[in-house]
Amino acid sequence: MTQIANELSFSQKLNENPKSVVERDAILANPGFGDYFTDHTAVVDFKVDANGEGGWQNARIEPYGPILMDPAAAVLHYGQEIFEGMKAYRHADGSIWTFRADANAARLNASARRLALPELPVETFLESLRQLVSVDQDWVPSKDGDALYLRPFMIATEAFLGVRPAREVSYRVIASPAGNYFGGELKPVSIWLTTTFARAGEGGTGEAKCGGNYAASLAAQMEAEANGCKQVLFLDPNNDNAVEELGGMNIFFVFKDGTLVTPALNGHILHGITRSSVMQLAADRGLKVQERKITIDEWREGVAAGEITEVFACGTAAVITPIGELKTAEGTIASPANGIGEVTNAIREQLVGIQTGVVEDLHGWLTRLA
Ligand SMILES: *Cc1c(COP(=O)(O)O)cnc(C)c1O
């Protein structure tokens, strides 16, 4: 599908009924995660014209609200959808920044290619964030550790039940004030190892950030909850017992000598931007970082022998979360650290520090939004 190159500027239709300051302040005092949304949304439409040329058009900021969509819209039937997740952080001087947005833009387009959706020009992606955060800047929390979670997504809106890539697509961004993902203090979470379900496989969509992967993870998530765990760990279904990732977070192991190990990207692990940042910050500290295969057996034996001293998960929403015990159908692998481990904590503080503007951004990871 060829795309018409176009310079898009966003029109603005402001919400005539925004939430009151009192209501907004009450939400910001206790935002939780993903429960409340700001007053506006950014939208850009994509259409293929009669000559078969596709182009993005009608970029706009409009009031947040329900999407009017044909019941035959392809996304509702075949799940042609992708998304991103990032945060806007308020710095001490009031300015608002986001973290590695160029990487999110690139990943959105990688996901688009996999789901046969049109790529969005990087500049339009960045402008959609700037525009939305500018109109909704009062929604960016200033409380320590809180941020405005940004959710760009793309859906196939064409009303058509035949199976082919949709010729009408909509890109949108919504925003939601976010507190601590796991609610409060950083205590290790218990993880359930599913051997019933896989989230991804060779040639599948595991590397794309698409809703379908999350739908496919829910049954495993229920299994985890039934076993008293908050999160589920998936194995590589093609590679017996090799650890892959959680439903929405990548995983790291810290060894006694300070080496960090994370599963190598194998074509069906999501390329986490937090993952890549953790690897960079660990290397900056002089720690050895290995991307390689790590199995459940190595995990079990490593913890038992005191070789593995910390395990943590990472992703934009929860940043870095210590992993405690791993429960499996065949028994439990004990938590290596009591509370948050030293290396986990040091990298977390540095990462959050860069994001919130209190630690110098040596890698040029921040982009100013407002
Ligand atoms: C989004 C996501 C992650 C984390 O990626 P970040 O860029 O660090 O937020 C990890 N795994 C899956 C499956 C994801 O969807």
pLDDT at 18 over 90: yes
Residue-wise pLDDT for 113-130, tens only, equals: 999 999 999 999 999 999
Nearest residue by C-alpha to atom 1 in ligand 1:
248
Please give the pLDDT value at position 3: 54
- Least confident interval from 88-92, 195-199, 239-243, 311-315: 239-243
CATH 3.30.470.10 holds for 2-178: yes
**Ligand 1 mutation pick, 231, 250, 347, max ligand atoms within 8 A of CB:** 250
Please give the pLDDT value at position 186: 81
pLDDT at 181 over 70: no
- The domains of the chain are located at 2-178, 189-356
Please give the pLDDT value at position 212: 97
Q: State the pTM of this model.
A: 0.96
**Ligand 1 mutation pick, 209, 218, 243, max ligand atoms within 8 A of CB:** 209
189-356 in CATH: which number? Answer: 3.20.10.10
E strands in the chain? 11-12, 40-48, 54-63, 81-83, 86-90, 96-99, 147-156, 168-178, 189-193, 231-235, 243-246, 250-255, 260-263, 289-292, 308-315, 319-328, 331-333, 366-368
Residue-wise pLDDT for 51-78, tens only, equals: 999 999 999 999 999 999 999 999 999 9
Q: Which of 230, 192, 204 is nearest to 332 (CA)?
A: 192
Four-residue CA torsion sign, 163, 168, 171, 176: negative
C-beta neighbour count of 358 within 10 angstroms = 12
The closest-lying atom of ligand 1 relative to the alpha carbon of residue 206 is 13
